[in-house]
């Protein structure tokens, strides 16, 4: 198989004509304040359950369809939906029929990573607005195609990084912009999650009710294994991106937002599997460094899977370093500052009052982020989105660059303007992938 980027683009451009895609007719529907918005949720095994709840918490929004390639999961969600809301919801296995359904106004995507970008592109082509879980893309090239589709079809797409809607985190960003901790030159992203061995379950027959071909979609089709379906695909390169591309996207996004930077020019990464002899392909421990020499800024990112220390009380979050102090973000909606050589406590903030209201992760979290999305949909105004598609592409891209550096085992030089590596065809090959027929991310969206 020819893996060169040039051959890949030529191949996918030709193959895209044979792909099954949703209609490219953009909806002309304009929502008033009292118009009901009909929503479909794609992927309802895990995070999609939160999408259902948050959409149903929005005023005059109704989840009318659930979509998942596994009928067993769909039937469970349908039963829960009726118990929670007193009426039933339609089910669909094939997302392409969701795209064809003109009664669906918005889709929210919580499917595995390898499906995200193509789902967004198909939805934009079908005239629907989209909320997409992190990471926005499985690789850098398709992330750029996603941005192009949003612009071409004038759609509203929100990326699921809830901290963008946190009043406390926005306060933290404002403080840094105003120079509270001085000149901010470095950010660290922390993902210290408790990740156990997944073992190795071997191959087995495809379970009844699962359309495994649809589950696989754009990715290479392997023999079925419980090592992948339903959650552990995160730890396999063809489908997931490791924890830096899972939990880590919240933190890569905040690293870039806080430093006010885009993609870097120098990247190095090192790690490995030190704990478990299991089926995971991705590293358990990963340390990545992203350098911005022209801006005198640097990002350090660390993934740890097991016993660990905290860092200034944080296990998942960010630390920003200025010449006057540091700012620590803990989780999704809390920050603290420590000033000077003695680390004297400074300004802090959190969204505790919103959390106390019982909303999912507070008004700053999933509910609040969906509220921002629905407001933008009603007004058809991308400018008010807290997590627009461009941030999805960049925050996911930072994770992808670290993974590429790790897999190649060398320092990489990247050109953010062209989104290609400098004189490195081997690294360029990893910016994209070969897609299966019928599930091609097209060169021309």
Q: What is the pLDDT of residues 109-159, one digit of tens each?
A: 999 999 999 999 999 999 999 999 999 999 999 999 999 999 999 999 999
Claim to verify: residue 49 and residue 114 sit in the same structural domain: yes
Residues above pLDDT 70, as percent of the chain: 91
Claim to verify: residue 117 and residue 178 sit in the same structural domain: no
3-class secondary-structure state, position 328: strand
Claim to verify: residue 123 and residue 19 sit in the same structural domain: yes
Cβ atoms of 119 and 42 within 8 Å: the answer is yes
Claim to verify: residue 157 and residue 176 sit in the same structural domain: no
pLDDT surpassing 90 at residue 362: no
Name the least confident of 5-9, 76-80, 277-281: 5-9
Its domain, for residue 155, covers 14-162+365-388
Residue 2 resides in a domain: no
Residue 236 resides in a domain: yes
Residue 371 resides in a domain: yes
Cβ atoms of 259 and 251 within 8 Å: the answer is no
Residue 3 resides in a domain: no
* pLDDT-based confidence at residue 31 (cuts at 50, 70, 90): confident
pLDDT for the residue 5: 29
Give 355 or 433, the one with higher predicted confidence: 433
pTM: 0.92
Claim to verify: residue 27 and residue 112 sit in the same structural domain: yes
Claim to verify: residue 101 and residue 238 sit in the same structural domain: no
- CATH code at position 427: 3.30.360.10
Claim to verify: residue 315 and residue 171 sit in the same structural domain: yes
pLDDT for the residue 364: 60
Residue 407 resides in a domain: yes
- CATH code at position 141: 3.40.50.720
Residue 439 resides in a domain: no
pLDDT for the residue 243: 98
Residues above pLDDT 90, as percent of the chain: 89
pLDDT surpassing 60 at residue 185: yes
* pLDDT-based confidence at residue 23 (cuts at 50, 70, 90): very low
Q: What is the pLDDT of residues 436-445, one digit of tens each?
A: 999 999 999 9
Claim to verify: residue 256 and residue 304 sit in the same structural domain: yes
Cα(306)–Cα(195) distance, rounded to whole angstroms? Answer: 6
pLDDT for the residue 19: 34
Our count of domains for the chain comes to 2
pLDDT for the residue 30: 72
Claim to verify: residue 314 and residue 378 sit in the same structural domain: no
Claim to verify: residue 249 and residue 120 sit in the same structural domain: no
Claim to verify: residue 140 and residue 181 sit in the same structural domain: no
Residue 190 resides in a domain: yes
Q: What share of the chain is helix, strand, coil (3-state, %, to 5)?
A: 35, 20, 45
pLDDT surpassing 50 at residue 8: no
Q: Check residue 37 and report its DSSP letter.
A: E
Residue 193 resides in a domain: yes
pLDDT surpassing 80 at residue 34: no
Claim to verify: residue 181 and residue 147 sit in the same structural domain: no
């Amino acid at each position: 198989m020819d893996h060169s980027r040039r051959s890949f683009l030529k191949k996918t451009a030709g193959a895209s004509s044979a792909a099954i895609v949703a209609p490219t007719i953009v909806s002309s529907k304009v929502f008033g304040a009292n118009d009901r918005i009909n929503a479909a949720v794609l992927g309802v095994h895990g995070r999609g359950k939160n999408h259902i709840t948050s959409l149903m918490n929005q005023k005059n929004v109704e989840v009318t369809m659930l979509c998942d390639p596994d009928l067993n999961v769909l039937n469970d969600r349908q039963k829960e939906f009726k118990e929670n809301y007193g009426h039933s919801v339609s089910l669909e296995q094939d997302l392409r029929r969701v795209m064809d359904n003109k009664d669906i106004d918005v889709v929210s995507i919580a499917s595995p990573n390898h499906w995200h970008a193509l789902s967004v592109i198909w939805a934009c082509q079908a005239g629907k607005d989209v909320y997409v879980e992190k990471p926005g893309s499985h690789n850098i090239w398709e992330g750029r195609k996603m941005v192009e589709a949003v612009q071409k079809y004038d759609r509203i797409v929100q990326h699921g990084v809830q901290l963008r809607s946190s009043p406390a985190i926005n306060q933290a960003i404002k403080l840094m912009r105003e120079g509270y901790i001085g000149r901010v030159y470095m950010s660290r992203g922390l993902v210290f999650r408790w990740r156990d061995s997944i073992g190795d379950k071997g191959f087995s027959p495809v379970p009844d009710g699962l359309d495994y071909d649809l589950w696989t979609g754009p990715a290479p089709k392997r023999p079925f294994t419980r090592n992948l379906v339903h959650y552990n695909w995160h730890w396999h390169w063809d489908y997931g991106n490791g924890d830096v591309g899972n939990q880590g996207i919240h933190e890569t996004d905040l690293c870039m937002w806080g430093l006010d930077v885009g993609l870097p020019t120098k990247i190095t990464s090192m790690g490995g599997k030190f704990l478990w002899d299991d089926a995971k392909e991705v590293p358990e421990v990963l340390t990545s460094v992203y350098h911005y020499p022209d801006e005198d800024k640097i990002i350090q990112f660390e993934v740890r899977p097991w016993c660990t220390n905290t860092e200034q009380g944080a296990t998942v979050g960010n630390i920003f370093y200025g010449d006057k102090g540091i700012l620590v973000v803990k989780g999704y909606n809390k920050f603290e500052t420590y000033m000077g050589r003695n680390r004297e406590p400074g300004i802090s903030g959190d969204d505790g009052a919103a959390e106390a209201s019982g909303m999912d992760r507070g008004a700053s979290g999933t509910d609040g982020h969906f509220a921002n999305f629905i407001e933008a949909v009603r007004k058809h105004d991308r400018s008010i989105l807290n997590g627009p598609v461009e941030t999805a592409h960049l925050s996911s891209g930072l994770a992808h660059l670290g993974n590429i550096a790790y897999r190649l085992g060398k320092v990489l030089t990247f050109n953010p303007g062209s989104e290609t590596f400098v004189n490195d065809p081997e690294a360029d090959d990893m910016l994209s992938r070969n897609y299966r027929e019928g599930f091609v991310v097209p060169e021309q969206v």
